[in-house]
Amino acid sequence: MANSIGAVDYSTSIPNNVDLAGDRRVLRALERWHPNYLDWWKDMGPEGFQEALVYLRTAVSVDREGWATFDYVKMPDYRWGILLAPQEEGRTIPFGQHKGEPVWQEVPGEYRALLRRLIVIQGDTEPASVEQQRHLGATAPSLYDLRNLFQVNVEEGRHLWAMVYLLQKYFGADGREEAEDLLRRRSGHEDSPRMLGAFNERTPDWLSFFMFTFFTDRDGKMQLESLAQSGFDPLSRTCRFMLMEEAHHMFVGERGVGRIIQRTAEAMNEAGITDPYDVERIRALGVIDLPTLQRKANLHYALTLDLFGNELSTNAANAFNSGIKGRFRETYIDDDHLLLDATYPVLRYQDGAFVEVQEPALQALNMRLRDDYIADTAQGIARWNKILNDRGIAFEITLPHQAFHRQIGTFAGLLVSPTGEVLSEAEWAKAEGDFLPSPADATFIQSLMVPVTGSGEYASWIAPPRVGIDNKGGDFEYVQLAA
């Protein structure tokens, strides 16, 4: 298609800007998949809200300016579609052994299995998060937050469509089978779980949801940025547009936790409480105490670090060397983009101490991406701490040590405190309740999960937003609940 791609074609049953009308084979395949997708959505999507009218944004263009429109829609009627960023004339592969060659418009035969695997893993995370969050609507703290949850959900659904399109168009019968399997697996299912561990965890409350969208969707951003560098141009263009939508998901998480922090700080100030560890008095105010917030952050951060896999990875090296998956913001990195002789520092636990060891950079790509993630996450944490500092609360939320509570990689099974001390089993057992959310924390948080459904009303534990969605106020009726 022309480089001036912008508007989305709504003349077919599946909105798109990839000329599905001129590709009848793929259009028919997607039309056959569509009813199964809707069955999955009705079974595993937001429970109890399929008939509600939700003020959602829908993409009408892939241009950065004015790319979406807002209106009320029932979620099963949402126009999920296939949207790719505009094709760049003359784009070349920016890294690996094919660096400088024209990007591929078709799948290179020698990389077929590798590409399919990466697309399937990315695709599997999208419906998984919808499944994890399907019960949250029943305890929403406001209509504003309820709408944001549903916006995240429908866009995760659209991201599934994006990966399924690539599978259907470029991988034939294998791709069609993989597309069906994406609807067959279920988050947390004993026999057919989702592919990555963090996407089989429960999301039992809204604090967990906000933490998930802050920490785990940020991993999604890092992975999409890396795939956006791909020499397989349809994948690159798909991920570049997905990043525009992913930004809102991280916004929901960062601002959600920030509003919880703000409300807690305000309640403490109103009650004259200066000690953030005076948990019983703070909880009596109907807000979430800061030590509990820290423990939840510890948990979600550790779970997300595991998503980056082993620090040294032959698969990651092969994906980079093949030109399939690059580094975060690859084209801004000042090196040869080949890494054949380069090294990268990898954190190890050796002889009773954490030390950095220089390893081959190609093997250490997961570690580098994890480091980029940590730096990006720290910026959001700093904004949370500014909320506390501005209100005179002497507490700082911190990121735990990289080795804390890890299940994958070189630190798996090592008992490490958030500050980096290696502990004995007895020491860990004694202090675990200070590091990670306890059953008592979960019970308290659940006690606050009472739905608030009046326009402009908000639960006691979260502050209203400074600004609403689409220039609407905080008191706008973002969701019209079905009678």
Report whether pLDDT(11) > 90: no
Q: Please write the tens of the pLDDT for every residue from 77-113.
A: 999 999 999 999 999 999 999 999 999 999 999 999 9
Token pair listed for 20: 């599905």
Average pLDDT over residues 373-398: 98
Average pLDDT over residues 185-189: 97
The answer as to whether 352 is a domain residue is yes
pLDDT given for residue 349 in this prediction: 96
The band of 224, judged by pLDDT with boundaries at 50, 70 and 90, is very high
Q: Please write the tens of the pLDDT for every residue from 303-358.
A: 999 999 999 999 999 999 999 999 999 999 999 999 999 999 999 999 999 999 99
Where residue 480 falls (left for φ over 0; alpha for ψ -120 to 50; beta otherwise) is: beta
The band of 62, judged by pLDDT with boundaries at 50, 70 and 90, is confident
Token pair listed for 12: 């077919």
Percentage, residues of the chain above pLDDT 90: 93
What does the alpha-carbon distance between residue 48 and residue 213 come to, in Å, rounded to a whole number?
22
What does the alpha-carbon distance between residue 59 and residue 83 come to, in Å, rounded to a whole number?
8
Q: Please write the tens of the pLDDT for every residue from 291-304.
A: 999 999 999 999 99
Report whether pLDDT(1) > 70: no
The answer as to whether 417 is a domain residue is yes
pLDDT given for residue 59 in this prediction: 87
Token pair listed for 472: 């609407």
Average pLDDT over residues 428-440: 97
The answer as to whether 447 is a domain residue is yes
pLDDT given for residue 6 in this prediction: 60
The answer as to whether 11 is a domain residue is no
Torsion angle of C-alpha atoms 119, 88, 153, 374, degrees rounded to 10: 70
The answer as to whether 12 is a domain residue is no
The band of 2, judged by pLDDT with boundaries at 50, 70 and 90, is very low
Query: What does the mean pLDDT of the chain come to?
Result: 95
Complete edge-to-edge strand list for the sheet that includes strand 53-59: 68-74, 53-59, 479-480
Token pair listed for 19: 């000329």
CATH number (domain holding residue 179): 1.10.620.20
**In total, how many domains does the chain have?**
1
pLDDT given for residue 7 in this prediction: 75
Average pLDDT over residues 50-72: 89
Token pair listed for 155: 């866009």
The answer as to whether 167 is a domain residue is yes
Report whether pLDDT(468) > 70: yes
The answer as to whether 170 is a domain residue is yes
Q: Which of these ranges, 51-65, 264-278, 375-389, has the smallest mean pLDDT?
A: 51-65
The answer as to whether 15 is a domain residue is no
- Residue 416's domain comprises 20-480
